[in-house]
Structure 1
Amino acid sequence: MLPLAKSLTLVAAASGVVLGVMTPLSASAAPGAQALKWTKCEGSGLDPRQRCATVAVPMDYADPNGPKIEIAVSRIPGENPAARRGALLLVPGGPGGDSMNDPSEKGQRLPKEVREAYDLIGFAPRGMAPSTAVDCGLEHRDLARTTLLPWPAADGSVDANLAAGKRLADACARNGGELIRHISTLNEARDLDRVRVALGERKVSLWGVSYGTYVADAYLQLFPHRTDRVVLDSNDNPDPVLAERAWLAAFERGAEDNFPEFAKWASAPGNPDRLADTAAEVRPLFLELAARLDREPIPWPGANPEELNGNVLRQTMLDSFYDPDDYPALARLIRAARQGTLPAAPAGPPEAVLQNVTAVAAATICNDVDWPGDPALYRRDVARSRAAFPLTGGMPRNTMPCTAWPWEPREAPVHVTDRGPSNVLMVQNERDPATPLSGALKLREALGRRAVMVVNDSTGHDAYLGNGTACGDATVSRFLATGVRPARDTYCR
C-alpha cells in the first residue's frame, strides 16, 4: 500500500479544463456491430435527446451460441460531431444499480468540453429491468434494508440473519430462473464489451462509480486494449479472495471516518438541528440512543420493519453519511426518537423495484466469490466487530444469503493487476462511508503504473461532480477532455 503522506502531492487551487486535439476513436470499423434501433426512452423528465435500444448478449458466455438475453442501453450523442472522441460508458454502482437515466441526469453535469467529445451511454446490467430481469419473489419482511444488510440482533446473535439468508437463497433458487446463475461482475464486463461492439466503437471510455469501479476493473482486466480513458470514482477494495466480503467489512472503517464530521456539524453553534454543545458529546448520545432502541423500539407505521429499533437507526446513520446534505434528516430523527416521537416513515421504492434490485444484488455478491458456510465464523467475527466498531454493531462481518447459496461460483473473482495501458485516473474522497480510502489505496496499489490517484479532502460518497472538491473535479474533467493526468498521485484540498 502507498503511504498517504508520501504518495500524495498537494494540488493547490482548481484549474480550468484545458482543451487538446481530439482523435476520434469510433470505428465505423468495429466488426460485428448490431444494427441498434434507437427509440424514445420510457420515463419522465428525460432529456429529449436521449434514446434507448437493446443489445443481445449470451446468457452464458461459456455457451455463446445458446440462449440470449437483452441489455438495455441509453444514449445522448456528443454535442459537437467535429470534436467527437467516442463513447463514455456510465457504469453504475450497486450491485443492483443502473445508469439508464444518467445521460440525462449526472451526464449533464459534465463540462461542455466532455459532453461535446463523447456520446454518453447508460445501461441496465443483466438482470436489471428494463434489461432481461430477474426476481426472487421474496417475502416483504426480507426486503427491509436492515435485513438485506445483515444487522445482528440486539444481543449480537446472528441466528435470524442465517435464517433470513436461507429464505432469500431458497427463494432465488425457486423463482430466479436460469439467468440468476449467470449474473456476476465478470459477465457484466463482458456485456459491456458487447455494447461497445454494438455501438461500433473500437475503444470506449468508462466512468465507474462505487461498485461500478469493480465492474470497470473487470473490464480493464478482460479487455485492456479496448479502453480509452477510465475514471474510477469512489473505489472498491479489489481483494481477489474476499471480493464483496471486503466491501461489507469496509463499513466499519467508513463509519468511523465519517462520524467525526457529523459530530462537528451536529454540535455547531447556530445549527437549527444541533444535537449537543460539543462534538465529543455526539457519539455517546448516538450510541446510548441506539442501545435504548435495541431494548425499546418505537412503533413506526409504514416502515419496514414497522418500528425504529437500534439497527434501523444505525442503518439510517450509514445512509446519511453518503451525502453530508442528509445530515439534517439524521439529526431530526435522533431528536425525535429521544423524545419518543417519530416523523412519517419515508417512502421507499415500489416493491417490484426492490424485488429486482435485491435479486441482482444477491446474485452478484454470491456468484462472484465463495462465502464460508460455518456459522461459528460469523458469530466470532461479529462479536469482535461489535466490540471494536460499536457504530456498525457487527453488521460488516455478518453472514449474507451467500452462506446458503445453492450454487458455487463459476469462475475465480476479478484479479486486478498492473498489466495493460496506463490510462486510469482514480478519484476518491478521504472520508467515504461506503468505499473508504483504505480500500481505495488497495486498488491503487494493485493497478500500479496503470493509474494515478486523486484524493479529495472531502466527506461523502461520489467524488467526481458530487461530494468532492473543485480541484478534483477539474482534474478529472481535464483528463476526460484531453487525456492529461497529474504526473503523480495528488491531494486536493
Structure 2
Amino acid sequence: MERGRRARRWLALIVAAGLAGSLLSTPAGADDGAGSGSVGAVTWGACPADVAEKAPQLECAEIPVPLDYDEPHGTTIKITVSRQASSDPAKRRGILLLNPGGPGGAGLSQPADLVNLGAPASVLDSYDLIGMDPRGVGHSSPVSCGFTADQDYRGNIPPFAADAAAVERQAEAARKIADQCAEHDQDGRLRHLTTANTARDLDRIRVALGEQKLNFFGLSYGSALGAAYASLFPETTDRLIIDSNVGDTHLGYEGMRQFGLGAEQTFPAFAKFAAARHDAYGLGRTPAAVRRNYLELAERLDREPVDGVDGALARFLVFVGLYSEKGFAPTAQLLQALGDSDAAAVRRRLAERPPVGPAQPSTPAEKKTDALSPYDNTWSAFLAVTCNDSDWPEDVATYQREVAKDRARFPLYGAAGSNINPCAFWHHEPSEPPVAINDNGPANVLVVQNRRDPATPYLGGLKIRQAFGDRARLVSVDGVGHGVYLYDDDPCAMNVATQYLVDGTWPRRDVTC
C-alpha cells in the first residue's frame, strides 16, 4: 500500500508538470498603490504574492466578465491578467496575449517565462506581453472538484488499458470523479468553463485594455483557444501564432486519442537515441530492439510492478519523457532501473530530474488528511473545459471497442488516450456546440508544428491549416517535442514567427523548416 501511494504521488507530480502558475484561490488585488497606471478600463498594480515572487517585474489587474454570456448582466467573475510592458514604448504596436495550454494551465507568469526563454528584443519592444489565468484557473475564480492529496486519482489522462476489464475498472473510478466534481460545484461555476467562453473573455480583455486588435500566441490547448478566438472574432484579430496544435477549437475524445499517434511518431527519435547509447543504458542496440524491449518491459511491469511502478505508470512516464529531447536521457535511466528491477534506483530516478520532478514522501495511513491536492484546481479546470466543450461517448462498450483498436494501432500508448474518463459521466451536457472554424476572415493565423510531437501530433497542424484555408500558413518543423516557438531551438521557425510578429511578414506559402 505504501509503495502504491508513493507511485500515485509521483504520477500526480508528472501529470501537473509544465502547467506553470499558482493554484492558490486568493484573487489578486487590483492595486496596492505601487507602480499603478491605467490603460483603458484597467488599473495595474501588484501581482499575487506567488507570481510576484517568481516574476517581480510583472504587474497585474482584474477584469470582470460574465459568468454566463447568455446572461451578460448577471453574475460576474474576475479574470486576473498580468503585463510585461513594452520595453520601448515608441515601438509598441499592441498587446500579445498568451496562453500556455492545458486546459487548466495558469499563465500569469508566462510573460516572464517567454523573456527567460529568449524572446527577441524586437518582440519585447513591439508588444505588451499579457498573461492570464483563464476562467476557473489559479487566480481567476478558481474551481475545485475537491481532489485531496491522498486521493487515489491518477490525473486527467486515463491509465493504459490492457483489456476490456481494465476499461470497466476505470469506468467505475471515472464515474466517482464526475460525481465528486458535481458535489463540490456549490456555486454552479463548472458548467461555464468552456473554450468558447474563455475566447469571449479574451475579447473582454482586449476591450478593457483599450485595444482595437488582439495579437495572440498559444501553445498546445492554447492553439484551440486561439483558433476559437479567430473564428468568433475574426475582425478584431491581428497577428496570431498557434503552436503545437490540437487540430480543432476544443480538446475532445478524438483529440485525446491522438496521444497514441503522437507517441508512435515520436518514440523512434528516443529509440534512436537509446540505441546509440546501448553500452550505457542497455536498452537495445537498434531502434527496433529498443522498441521491442520496451514493450516487453511494460508487459512485465503489468504483472510485476517495481516499487509501485506498474506497466500503466511506466507507459505514462515514457510518454511524458517524449515531450522534449531533454527528457530522453532521464527516461533511458528510468527504463534501465525498471529493467533491472532496481527499486532504489527507480526511486532515485523519479526524485532527481525531469521528466518526473521531485518526489514527495509517502504519508502513513494514520496521518492521512483531507488537505486538497496542489493539483486540484488544474485537474478540475481541465475536466470542466474538456467535458463541457463537446459530447463524449457515454457507454463503456464504446470505450472498450476503441481501446482495442488503439491498442493494436498504437501499442506504445494508444490504449491510454482512448480509455474512459470522467467526461463519460459528466453531470452537464454541452451548452453549445464546439466553435466552428471560420475561414472567412483576415489571413493572419500562423500555424507552427513539430513533425514529431507526442501530445499534439503533426496531424493537428495539418487539420487546422486545412480548416482555416487561406487564412492560415503552416510552418512545419523537422523537430521533436511539444512546443516550437521559443520552446525549441529551430532557427527557421524562430525567424519566421518573429518576423511575422514584429514586421507582419506573411509567408507567401507554407514553410518547411
- The TM-score normalised by the length of structure 1 is 0.88
Q: Does 1:283 align with 2:283?
A: no
Deviation of 1:239 (Å): 7.4
In 1, Cα distance between equivalents of 2:168 and 2:262: 26
The 3-state SS of whatever aligns with 2:476 is: strand
Superposition map of 1:161-172 within 5 A: 161-172=170-181
Q: What is the CA distance between 1:200 and its match in structure 2?
A: 1.1
| Other-structure match for 1:374 | 395
**Structure 2 match to 1:411:** 432
- 8 Å Cα contact 2:147/2:373 also seen in 1: no
Deviations 1:100-158 (A, max 9, x none): 1111112442100010010000000111111111111135566644x521124443420
Matched, 1:135 2:140: no
Structure-1 residue corresponding to 2:233: 223
- 3-state SS of the aligned residue for 2:42? coil
Contact 1:135 1:355 in 2 (8 A): yes
- Three-state SS of the structure 2 residue aligned to 1:449 is helix
After superposition, the Cα gap between the structure-2 partners of 1:143 and 1:224, relative to the gap in structure 1 and judged at 3 Å, is farther
Cα drift, residue 393 of structure 1: 5.0
Shift >6 Å, 4+ stretches:
none
* Residue aligning to 2:207: 197
Note closer, same or farther for the CA distance 1:458–1:53 as it changes in structure 2 (3 Å cut): same
Query: Are 2:191 and 2:388, in contact at CA under 8 Å, matched by a contact in 1?
Result: yes
Task: Quote the residue 1:343 is aligned against.
Answer: 347
Identify which range, 392-401 or 281-290, moves more after superposition: 392-401
Match of 2:49 among 37, 42, 45: 42
Q: After superposition, what is the alpha-carbon deviation per residue over 1:416-465, rounded to whole angstroms, capped at 9, x for unaligned?
A: 13111111111110101111111210110000000111101100010111
| Bigger shift: residues 473-482 or 104-113 | 104-113
What does residue 257 of structure 1 align with?
Answer: 265
Residue type at the aligned position of 1:127: G
TM-fit CA distance, 1:332? 0.8
Quote the Cα distance in structure 1 between the aligned partners of 2:47 and 2:156: 34
Equivalent in 127, 143, 163 of residue 118 of structure 1: 127
Per-residue Cα deviation, 1:360-383 (whole angstroms, up to 9, x for no partner): 000001100111211111111111
Deviation at 1:351, TM superposition (A): 5.2
Contact 2:42/2:208 (8 A) holds in 1:
yes
Q: CA RMSD in A?
A: 2.0
Pairing 1:232–2:242 present = yes
Write the mapping of 1:455-474 to structure 2, written as runs, cut at 5 A: 455-467=476-488, 469-474=490-495
Aligned equivalents of 2:405, 2:47: Cα separation in 1: 53
2:451 is matched with which residue? 430
Q: Contact 1:210–1:235 (CA<8 Å) still a contact in 2?
A: yes
Query: d(CA) in 1 for partners of 2:149 and 2:46?
Result: 35
Q: Which runs of 5+ in 1 are unaligned?
A: 1-31, 300-306
Aligned partner of 2:192 in structure 1 is 182
| Corresponding residue for residue 246 of structure 1 | 254
Q: Give aligned pairs, total.
A: 451
Letter in 1 for 2:241: V
Shift of 1:230: 0.3
Structure 1 residues 119 and 290 mapped into 2: Cα distance closer, same or farther (>3 Å)? Answer: same
Shift of 1:236: 1.0
CA distance in 2, matches of 1:480, 1:271: 46
Judging changes above 3 Å, is the alpha-carbon distance between structure 1 residues 338 and 156 closer, same or farther for their aligned structure 2 residues? farther
Quick check: 1:248–1:397 contact (8 Å CA) kept in 2?
Answer: yes
State how 1:35-74 maps to structure 2 within 5 Å.
35-43=42-50, 46-74=54-82
Give the whole-Å Cα distance in 1 for the aligned partners of 2:446 and 2:490.
15
Give 3-state SS (helix, strand or coil) of 1:190's partner. helix
Q: Could you list the per-position Cα deviations for residues 40-98 of structure 1 after superposition, in whole angstroms to 9, with x for gaps in the alignment?
A: 44226544331111111111111111111111110010010110100000112001102
Return the letter of the residue paired with 1:343: R
Contact between 1:156 and 1:394, CA under 8 Å: does it hold in 2? no
Deviations 1:169-219 (Å, cap 9, x if unpaired)? Answer: 101111023111100000110111111111111111000101001001111
Contact 1:274 1:331 in 2 (8 A): no
1:373 counterpart SS class: coil
Per-residue deviation, 1:37? 3.6
3-state SS in 1 of match to 2:486: helix
Query: Unaligned regions of 5+ residues in structure 2, if any?
Result: 1-38, 352-357, 361-370
Contact 2:216/2:226, CA 8 A, preserved across alignment? yes
Partner-residue secondary structure (3-state), 1:171:
helix
- Secondary structure at the aligned position of 1:438 is classed as helix
Q: Secondary structure at the match of 2:179?
A: helix
Distance 1:239 1:104, change over 3 A: closer
- Measured at CA, do residues 323 and 313 of structure 1 come closer, stay the same or move farther in structure 2, by a change above 3 Å? same
Return the letter of the residue paired with 1:125: P
Q: Provide the rounded CA distance (Å) in 1 between the counterparts of 2:200 and 2:265.
A: 35
Match of 1:9 in 2: none
Question: 1:319 matched to which residue of 2?
Answer: 320
Deviation of residue 34 (structure 1)?
Answer: 2.5
Cα 1:87/1:143, change in 2 over 3 Å: farther
Which amino acid in structure 1 is aligned with residue 56 of structure 2?
Answer: P
Match of 1:100 in 2: 108
> How far apart, in 2, do the equivalents of 1:153 and 1:395 lie?
6
Cα distance in structure 2, aligned partners of 1:90 and 1:139: 30
Tell me which residue corresponds to 2:462: 441
